[in-house]
Chains A and B, each alone.
Chain A
Amino acid sequence: AQSVTQPDIHITVSEGASLELRCNYSYGATPYLFWYVQSPGQGLQLLLKYFSGDTLVQGIKGFEAEFKRSQSSFNLRKPSVHWSDAAEYFCASGGNTGKLIFGQGTTLQVKP
């Protein structure tokens, strides 16, 4: 069955430090992969998506993610974190049906 795992429930980084949030997926074929961010009381905002092609994808707010088929991973990265990046981050995968399968989410805390 299709599944998404985010191994880190909570991550704390210092402002200005680099960030990597992990995501592993389980799917028979190459899935469509997404990262969403959710601020408290808000809906989800799409950061970036991978469908095919170049395995390094650029998103909004300076985020990028790399698809690695051999590791079934789609980790999210940012070179320098800002305090406004504190939020909850969700990795999701989808097939051809339109159904998104979400990971449990990673809460990012940014220290000043």
Chain B
Amino acid sequence: GAGVSQSPSNKVTEKGKDVELRCDPISGHTALYWYRQRLGQGLEFLIYFQGNSAPDKSGLPSDRFSAERTGESVSTLTIQRTQQEDSAVYLCASSSTGVWPQHFGDGTRLSIL
């Protein structure tokens, strides 16, 4: 497809397990962003990639959260030892040269039991 693709669309896991969330940006988009949306709240910035480097990871809430990106392609957000407060929708966005505008995927809904 032509848009930002995220997988899985839904993920249910037990507290303490590790999870990996995947984002496929729009082809050719050099910038990639991860956001978190908790129930009833706005989006919180997590991390920004330009190519495969991350100039801004100030939004990662703890060292349990990490992300990587392969070249100007797929990115993976990993949450280790998940906690119930990690339950949220995780949204990925990408943009072409420059940083605006950002095009969003449909998100991964993560539920921690």
Residues of A within 8 A of B (CB): 4, 32, 34, 36, 41-46, 49, 51, 90, 92, 94, 96-105
Contact = CB atoms under 8 A, between A and B. Distances in A.
A96 B22 CA distance: 26
B102 interface: yes
Contact of B100 (A36, A41, A43, A49): A49
Contacts, number: 64
B105 interface: yes
Contact of A32 (B43, B55, B93, B100): B100
Nearest to B106: A43
B48 to A, nearest CB: 5
Contacts of B99: 94, 96-98
Given A43-B106, A44-B91, A98 B101 contact: no
Interface string B24-58: 00000001010100000111110010100001101
Contact of A98 (B31, B41, B105): B31
Nearest to A9: B40
A43 B101 contact: no
B105 A43 contact: yes
Nearest to A51: B100
Contacts of B95: 98
B48 A94 contact: no
17 contacts: A32-B100, A34-B101, A36-B104, A41-B106, A43-B107, A44-B104, A46-B101, A49-B100, A51-B100, A94-B99, A97-B56, A98-B99, A99-B59, A100-B45, A102-B35, A102-B44, A104-B42
